[in-house]
Amino acid sequence: MWKHMASSLFFCGRRSVRRGTGRDSSRRHLPFWRGEMAQKTVLVTGCSSGIGLAIAAKLAHDEERRFKVYATMRNLDKQGLLVEAAGKTLGRTLEIKQLDVCSEESIKNCVDSIPDRRIDVLVSNAGVGLIGPIECQTIEEMKTVMDTNFFGLVRLLKEILPDMKKRKSGHVVIISSVMGIQGILFNDVYAASKFAVEGFCESLAIQALKFKLQISLIEPGPVVTEFEQKVFEDGMKMDLSAADKETADMFTDVYLKNYKQIFQSLGQSAEEVAEHTVKIILLDNPPFRHQTNTLYTPMTTLKYADPNGDLPIDTFYKMVFQHDKVFNASLNFIKLLRWRSKKSFDLGKPKQ
Protein backbone atom coordinates (compact mmCIF):
# COMPACT_ATOMS: atom_id res chain seq x y z
CA MET A 1 0.00 0.00 0.00
CA TRP A 2 2.78 2.40 0.97
CA LYS A 3 4.48 1.65 -2.28
CA HIS A 4 1.27 2.50 -4.12
CA MET A 5 0.80 5.76 -2.14
CA ALA A 6 4.38 6.75 -2.70
CA SER A 7 4.12 6.18 -6.41
CA SER A 8 0.82 8.12 -6.66
CA LEU A 9 2.38 10.98 -4.76
CA PHE A 10 5.37 10.84 -7.02
CA PHE A 11 3.26 10.90 -10.15
CA CYS A 12 1.06 13.69 -8.79
CA GLY A 13 4.28 15.68 -8.46
CA ARG A 14 4.69 19.02 -10.05
CA ARG A 15 6.16 18.07 -13.38
CA SER A 16 3.54 15.46 -14.25
CA VAL A 17 0.58 17.60 -13.10
CA ARG A 18 1.88 20.58 -14.92
CA ARG A 19 2.50 19.65 -18.40
CA GLY A 20 1.82 16.85 -20.75
CA THR A 21 4.42 14.83 -22.48
CA GLY A 22 7.83 16.17 -21.59
CA ARG A 23 8.70 16.14 -25.27
CA ASP A 24 10.82 18.84 -26.78
CA SER A 25 8.35 21.21 -28.45
CA SER A 26 10.63 22.12 -31.33
CA ARG A 27 8.53 22.17 -34.47
CA ARG A 28 11.32 20.95 -36.65
CA HIS A 29 9.07 18.70 -38.74
CA LEU A 30 6.16 21.06 -39.20
CA PRO A 31 5.59 22.88 -42.48
CA PHE A 32 6.65 26.53 -42.55
CA TRP A 33 3.10 27.94 -42.31
CA ARG A 34 2.38 25.90 -39.13
CA GLY A 35 5.58 27.24 -37.59
CA GLU A 36 4.54 30.81 -38.45
CA MET A 37 1.09 30.33 -36.96
CA ALA A 38 2.56 29.04 -33.74
CA GLN A 39 4.97 31.98 -33.43
CA LYS A 40 5.42 32.88 -29.76
CA THR A 41 5.83 36.45 -28.60
CA VAL A 42 8.76 36.85 -26.22
CA LEU A 43 9.51 39.98 -24.22
CA VAL A 44 13.10 40.22 -22.97
CA THR A 45 14.30 42.92 -20.54
CA GLY A 46 17.80 44.41 -20.35
CA CYS A 47 18.84 43.86 -23.98
CA SER A 48 21.41 46.66 -24.34
CA SER A 49 24.23 44.19 -23.56
CA GLY A 50 25.23 40.79 -22.22
CA ILE A 51 22.82 37.92 -21.62
CA GLY A 52 19.61 39.79 -22.57
CA LEU A 53 21.09 40.88 -25.89
CA ALA A 54 22.32 37.34 -26.63
CA ILE A 55 18.93 35.77 -25.79
CA ALA A 56 16.99 38.30 -27.90
CA ALA A 57 19.33 37.84 -30.88
CA LYS A 58 19.30 34.04 -30.64
CA LEU A 59 15.50 33.89 -30.52
CA ALA A 60 15.16 36.37 -33.39
CA HIS A 61 17.56 34.37 -35.57
CA ASP A 62 15.64 31.12 -35.03
CA GLU A 63 15.64 29.40 -38.42
CA GLU A 64 12.06 28.24 -38.04
CA ARG A 65 10.91 31.73 -37.03
CA ARG A 66 9.16 30.41 -33.97
CA PHE A 67 9.48 33.69 -32.08
CA LYS A 68 8.51 37.32 -32.33
CA VAL A 69 10.91 39.07 -29.97
CA TYR A 70 10.29 42.35 -28.16
CA ALA A 71 13.81 43.22 -27.06
CA THR A 72 13.61 45.98 -24.46
CA MET A 73 16.07 48.30 -22.77
CA ARG A 74 15.78 51.27 -20.45
CA ASN A 75 17.90 53.56 -22.59
CA LEU A 76 17.26 53.34 -26.35
CA ASP A 77 20.47 55.28 -27.05
CA LYS A 78 22.26 52.03 -26.18
CA GLN A 79 20.65 49.95 -28.93
CA GLY A 80 23.72 49.89 -31.23
CA LEU A 81 25.04 46.45 -30.24
CA LEU A 82 21.59 44.89 -30.40
CA VAL A 83 20.87 46.41 -33.82
CA GLU A 84 24.13 44.90 -35.03
CA ALA A 85 23.38 41.48 -33.52
CA ALA A 86 19.81 41.51 -34.83
CA GLY A 87 20.93 42.23 -38.42
CA LYS A 88 18.20 41.46 -40.92
CA THR A 89 15.83 40.19 -38.22
CA LEU A 90 15.26 43.80 -37.10
CA GLY A 91 11.69 44.83 -37.90
CA ARG A 92 10.86 41.21 -38.76
CA THR A 93 11.26 38.80 -35.87
CA LEU A 94 12.78 41.42 -33.54
CA GLU A 95 11.49 44.80 -32.42
CA ILE A 96 13.25 47.10 -29.97
CA LYS A 97 11.20 48.85 -27.28
CA GLN A 98 11.88 51.04 -24.27
CA LEU A 99 11.31 49.44 -20.86
CA ASP A 100 12.73 50.40 -17.49
CA VAL A 101 11.98 47.70 -14.90
CA CYS A 102 12.09 50.36 -12.18
CA SER A 103 9.16 52.26 -13.71
CA GLU A 104 5.60 50.88 -13.66
CA GLU A 105 4.61 53.45 -16.29
CA SER A 106 7.35 52.40 -18.67
CA ILE A 107 6.41 48.71 -18.28
CA LYS A 108 2.72 49.46 -18.90
CA ASN A 109 3.45 51.58 -21.98
CA CYS A 110 5.60 48.83 -23.43
CA VAL A 111 3.09 46.04 -22.78
CA ASP A 112 0.20 48.20 -24.11
CA SER A 113 2.14 48.72 -27.36
CA ILE A 114 2.24 44.95 -28.06
CA PRO A 115 -0.67 43.57 -30.13
CA ASP A 116 -3.41 42.34 -27.73
CA ARG A 117 -0.82 42.77 -24.95
CA ARG A 118 0.00 39.16 -25.73
CA ILE A 119 3.29 37.97 -24.23
CA ASP A 120 3.73 34.20 -24.36
CA VAL A 121 7.17 34.20 -22.81
CA LEU A 122 8.60 36.83 -20.48
CA VAL A 123 12.36 36.75 -20.02
CA SER A 124 13.15 38.83 -16.94
CA ASN A 125 16.84 39.49 -17.36
CA ALA A 126 17.59 43.13 -16.41
CA GLY A 127 19.81 43.29 -13.37
CA VAL A 128 22.59 45.15 -11.59
CA GLY A 129 25.41 43.97 -9.34
CA LEU A 130 27.07 45.27 -6.19
CA ILE A 131 30.16 43.98 -4.41
CA GLY A 132 32.16 45.06 -1.39
CA PRO A 133 31.91 45.37 2.38
CA ILE A 134 28.43 46.56 3.47
CA GLU A 135 30.05 49.26 5.66
CA CYS A 136 31.16 50.95 2.43
CA GLN A 137 27.84 50.76 0.59
CA THR A 138 25.00 53.22 1.06
CA ILE A 139 21.46 52.09 1.74
CA GLU A 140 20.51 53.90 -1.50
CA GLU A 141 22.94 51.74 -3.50
CA MET A 142 21.53 48.62 -1.86
CA LYS A 143 17.96 49.75 -2.57
CA THR A 144 18.81 50.19 -6.27
CA VAL A 145 19.94 46.56 -6.41
CA MET A 146 16.74 45.32 -4.74
CA ASP A 147 14.60 47.69 -6.78
CA THR A 148 16.04 46.46 -10.07
CA ASN A 149 16.70 42.77 -9.45
CA PHE A 150 13.71 41.95 -7.23
CA PHE A 151 11.03 44.66 -7.56
CA GLY A 152 11.79 44.88 -11.29
CA LEU A 153 10.52 41.30 -11.65
CA VAL A 154 7.55 42.00 -9.35
CA ARG A 155 6.53 45.06 -11.42
CA LEU A 156 6.76 43.06 -14.67
CA LEU A 157 4.63 40.27 -13.30
CA LYS A 158 1.99 42.64 -11.87
CA GLU A 159 1.53 43.92 -15.43
CA ILE A 160 1.93 40.68 -17.41
CA LEU A 161 0.77 37.82 -15.17
CA PRO A 162 -2.98 38.71 -15.13
CA ASP A 163 -3.13 38.39 -18.95
CA MET A 164 -1.27 35.07 -18.82
CA LYS A 165 -3.68 33.82 -16.15
CA LYS A 166 -6.69 34.80 -18.29
CA ARG A 167 -5.24 32.95 -21.27
CA LYS A 168 -4.13 30.04 -19.09
CA SER A 169 -0.84 30.01 -20.93
CA GLY A 170 2.53 31.64 -20.53
CA HIS A 171 6.09 31.01 -19.47
CA VAL A 172 8.05 33.28 -17.16
CA VAL A 173 11.81 32.79 -17.45
CA ILE A 174 13.97 34.61 -14.95
CA ILE A 175 17.72 35.08 -15.22
CA SER A 176 18.56 34.44 -11.59
CA SER A 177 22.04 33.27 -10.53
CA VAL A 178 23.78 30.55 -8.55
CA MET A 179 23.88 33.37 -6.01
CA GLY A 180 20.12 32.92 -5.71
CA ILE A 181 20.91 29.58 -4.06
CA GLN A 182 24.17 30.28 -2.29
CA GLY A 183 25.75 33.42 -0.87
CA ILE A 184 29.29 34.41 -1.87
CA LEU A 185 31.81 36.53 0.02
CA PHE A 186 31.27 40.31 -0.52
CA ASN A 187 28.15 39.76 -2.65
CA ASP A 188 25.80 40.10 0.34
CA VAL A 189 23.20 42.46 -1.14
CA TYR A 190 23.34 41.08 -4.67
CA ALA A 191 22.85 37.52 -3.36
CA ALA A 192 19.99 38.79 -1.16
CA SER A 193 18.27 40.25 -4.25
CA LYS A 194 18.57 36.93 -6.10
CA PHE A 195 17.43 34.95 -3.02
CA ALA A 196 14.39 37.25 -2.94
CA VAL A 197 13.71 36.43 -6.60
CA GLU A 198 14.00 32.70 -5.94
CA GLY A 199 11.73 32.73 -2.85
CA PHE A 200 9.18 34.85 -4.68
CA CYS A 201 9.17 32.48 -7.68
CA GLU A 202 9.01 29.34 -5.53
CA SER A 203 5.86 30.69 -3.90
CA LEU A 204 4.33 31.93 -7.13
CA ALA A 205 5.05 28.68 -8.99
CA ILE A 206 2.47 26.85 -6.85
CA GLN A 207 -0.29 29.27 -7.85
CA ALA A 208 0.97 29.33 -11.45
CA LEU A 209 0.34 25.57 -11.73
CA LYS A 210 -3.38 26.20 -11.23
CA PHE A 211 -3.34 28.47 -14.30
CA LYS A 212 -1.14 26.12 -16.34
CA LEU A 213 1.64 28.72 -16.33
CA GLN A 214 5.30 27.83 -16.25
CA ILE A 215 8.07 29.51 -14.29
CA SER A 216 11.75 28.76 -14.83
CA LEU A 217 14.76 30.16 -13.00
CA ILE A 218 17.95 30.17 -15.06
CA GLU A 219 20.93 30.09 -12.71
CA PRO A 220 24.25 30.99 -14.37
CA GLY A 221 27.53 30.94 -12.52
CA PRO A 222 30.06 33.62 -13.55
CA VAL A 223 29.37 35.04 -17.02
CA VAL A 224 31.79 37.29 -18.86
CA THR A 225 29.69 40.36 -19.70
CA GLU A 226 29.72 44.11 -19.09
CA PHE A 227 28.14 43.32 -15.73
CA GLU A 228 31.23 41.54 -14.52
CA GLN A 229 33.44 44.34 -15.84
CA LYS A 230 31.29 47.13 -14.31
CA VAL A 231 31.09 45.38 -10.96
CA PHE A 232 34.86 44.84 -10.89
CA GLU A 233 35.61 48.48 -11.81
CA ASP A 234 33.20 49.74 -9.14
CA GLY A 235 34.91 47.44 -6.64
CA MET A 236 38.36 48.79 -7.60
CA LYS A 237 37.16 52.39 -7.18
CA MET A 238 35.32 51.74 -3.93
CA ASP A 239 36.06 54.01 -0.97
CA LEU A 240 37.00 51.48 1.70
CA SER A 241 37.65 54.01 4.47
CA ALA A 242 34.49 53.04 6.37
CA ALA A 243 35.72 49.45 6.74
CA ASP A 244 38.32 48.22 9.25
CA LYS A 245 41.72 47.35 7.79
CA GLU A 246 41.22 43.58 7.98
CA THR A 247 37.94 43.76 6.04
CA ALA A 248 39.33 46.23 3.48
CA ASP A 249 42.39 44.01 2.91
CA MET A 250 40.21 40.93 2.61
CA PHE A 251 38.21 42.67 -0.11
CA THR A 252 41.20 43.88 -2.13
CA ASP A 253 43.77 41.15 -1.47
CA VAL A 254 41.50 38.13 -1.49
CA TYR A 255 38.26 38.94 -3.30
CA LEU A 256 39.31 41.39 -6.01
CA LYS A 257 42.59 39.56 -6.53
CA ASN A 258 40.75 36.31 -7.37
CA TYR A 259 37.82 37.93 -9.17
CA LYS A 260 39.27 38.00 -12.67
CA GLN A 261 40.73 34.53 -12.34
CA ILE A 262 37.36 33.06 -11.29
CA PHE A 263 35.68 34.59 -14.35
CA GLN A 264 38.51 33.43 -16.63
CA SER A 265 38.43 29.85 -15.32
CA LEU A 266 34.75 29.24 -14.64
CA GLY A 267 33.11 31.98 -16.71
CA GLN A 268 30.66 31.26 -19.51
CA SER A 269 29.84 33.55 -22.40
CA ALA A 270 26.51 35.35 -22.70
CA GLU A 271 25.87 33.23 -25.83
CA GLU A 272 26.25 30.00 -23.85
CA VAL A 273 23.70 31.20 -21.28
CA ALA A 274 21.41 32.27 -24.14
CA GLU A 275 21.67 28.81 -25.67
CA HIS A 276 20.60 27.21 -22.37
CA THR A 277 17.75 29.70 -22.00
CA VAL A 278 16.37 29.09 -25.49
CA LYS A 279 16.45 25.32 -24.87
CA ILE A 280 14.40 25.85 -21.71
CA ILE A 281 11.92 28.08 -23.59
CA LEU A 282 11.45 25.33 -26.19
CA LEU A 283 10.61 22.59 -23.71
CA ASP A 284 6.98 21.55 -23.17
CA ASN A 285 7.84 20.66 -19.63
CA PRO A 286 10.56 23.09 -18.53
CA PRO A 287 12.22 22.63 -15.15
CA PHE A 288 11.70 25.14 -12.36
CA ARG A 289 15.46 25.55 -11.90
CA HIS A 290 18.22 25.23 -14.45
CA GLN A 291 21.92 25.80 -13.77
CA THR A 292 23.90 26.66 -16.89
CA ASN A 293 27.40 25.89 -15.63
CA THR A 294 28.25 22.29 -14.71
CA LEU A 295 31.63 23.42 -13.36
CA TYR A 296 29.77 25.30 -10.65
CA THR A 297 27.18 22.64 -9.76
CA PRO A 298 29.34 20.81 -7.14
CA MET A 299 29.36 24.04 -5.09
CA THR A 300 25.58 24.45 -5.07
CA THR A 301 25.14 20.74 -4.32
CA LEU A 302 26.81 21.34 -0.94
CA LYS A 303 23.84 23.48 0.03
CA TYR A 304 21.42 20.60 -0.41
CA ALA A 305 23.77 18.09 1.21
CA ASP A 306 23.59 19.68 4.67
CA PRO A 307 20.25 20.85 6.10
CA ASN A 308 22.17 22.75 8.83
CA GLY A 309 23.73 24.94 6.18
CA ASP A 310 27.25 24.70 7.60
CA LEU A 311 28.82 22.65 4.84
CA PRO A 312 28.83 25.27 2.05
CA ILE A 313 29.89 28.04 4.46
CA ASP A 314 32.78 25.97 5.89
CA THR A 315 33.83 24.87 2.40
CA PHE A 316 33.90 28.41 1.03
CA TYR A 317 35.76 29.61 4.13
CA LYS A 318 38.43 26.93 3.80
CA MET A 319 38.72 27.45 0.06
CA VAL A 320 39.25 31.20 0.41
CA PHE A 321 41.25 31.49 3.64
CA GLN A 322 42.97 28.16 4.29
CA HIS A 323 43.48 26.39 0.99
CA ASP A 324 43.81 29.43 -1.22
CA LYS A 325 46.87 28.01 -2.99
CA VAL A 326 45.04 24.77 -3.84
CA PHE A 327 42.01 26.85 -4.86
CA ASN A 328 44.13 28.97 -7.19
CA ALA A 329 45.88 25.94 -8.61
CA SER A 330 42.49 24.30 -9.27
CA LEU A 331 41.26 27.41 -11.07
CA ASN A 332 44.39 27.43 -13.22
CA PHE A 333 43.93 23.74 -13.94
CA ILE A 334 40.29 24.26 -14.98
CA LYS A 335 41.37 27.17 -17.17
CA LEU A 336 43.96 24.97 -18.86
CA LEU A 337 41.46 22.14 -19.41
CA ARG A 338 38.94 24.52 -20.93
CA TRP A 339 41.58 26.09 -23.14
CA ARG A 340 42.66 22.65 -24.35
CA SER A 341 39.11 21.52 -25.06
CA LYS A 342 38.47 24.74 -26.97
CA LYS A 343 41.69 24.21 -28.87
CA SER A 344 40.66 20.73 -30.03
CA PHE A 345 37.16 21.98 -30.78
CA ASP A 346 38.51 24.82 -32.92
CA LEU A 347 40.95 22.50 -34.71
CA GLY A 348 44.04 23.99 -33.19
CA LYS A 349 43.06 27.66 -33.17
CA PRO A 350 42.30 28.64 -29.57
CA LYS A 351 40.24 31.83 -29.17
CA GLN A 352 41.98 34.63 -27.29
Ligand X SMILES: NC(=O)c1ccc[n+]([C@@H]2O[C@H](COP(=O)([O-])OP(=O)(O)OC[C@H]3O[C@@H](n4cnc5c(N)ncnc54)[C@H](OP(=O)(O)O)[C@@H]3O)[C@@H](O)[C@H]2O)c1
Catalytically active residues, by annotation: 190
Strand 67-73 relative to strand 94-98, pairing: parallel
Indicate whether 73 belongs to the interface with ligand X (CB under 6 A).
Answer: yes
**Using rule CB under 6 A, residue 223 touches ligand X:** yes
Interaction with ligand X in 236-275: which residues (CB under 6 A)?
270
Is residue 170 involved in binding ligand X (CB under 6 A)?
Answer: no
Site stretch for ligand X (CB under 6 A), options 11-19, 22-30, 95-103, 319-327: 95-103
Tell me, what amino acid is at 259? Y
Distance of closest approach, residue 268 Cβ to ligand X, in angstroms: 8
Q: Does residue number 235 form part of the binding site for ligand X (CB under 6 A)? A: no
Those residues with Cβ within 8 angstroms of residue 77's Cβ, 6 or more apart along the chain or in another chain: none
- Establish if 175 lies at the interface with ligand X (CB under 6 A): yes
Each as own residue / partner, the long-range contacts of residues 108-115 (CB below 8 Å, 24 or more positions apart, any chain) are 108/159, 110/43, 110/70, 110/72, 111/43, 111/159, 111/160, 114/41, 114/43, 114/70
Q: Is 226 in the site for ligand X (CB under 6 A)?
A: yes
CA-atom Rg of the chain in angstroms? 21
Among 41, 79, 89, 148, indicate the residue that binds ligand X (CB under 6 A): 148
In the bound complex, what is the minimum distance in angstroms from residue 87's beta carbon to ligand X? 19
Choose, by CB under 6 A, the member of 42, 43, 51, 123 that binds ligand X.
Answer: 51
Which residue in the set 78, 143, 260, 340 belongs to the binding site for ligand X (CB under 6 A)? 78
**Residues flagged as binding site for substrate:** 177
Partners of residue 42 on adjacent β-strands? 69, 121
Are 141 and 238 within 8 A, CB to CB?
no
Told to check if 50 binds ligand X by CB under 6 A, we report yes
46 binds ligand X (CB under 6 A): yes
Near ligand X by CB under 6 A: residue from 30, 38, 81, 102: 102
Beta-carbon contacts of 59 under 8 Å, excluding residues fewer than 6 positions away, are 42, 44, 67, 69, 93, 94, 278, 281
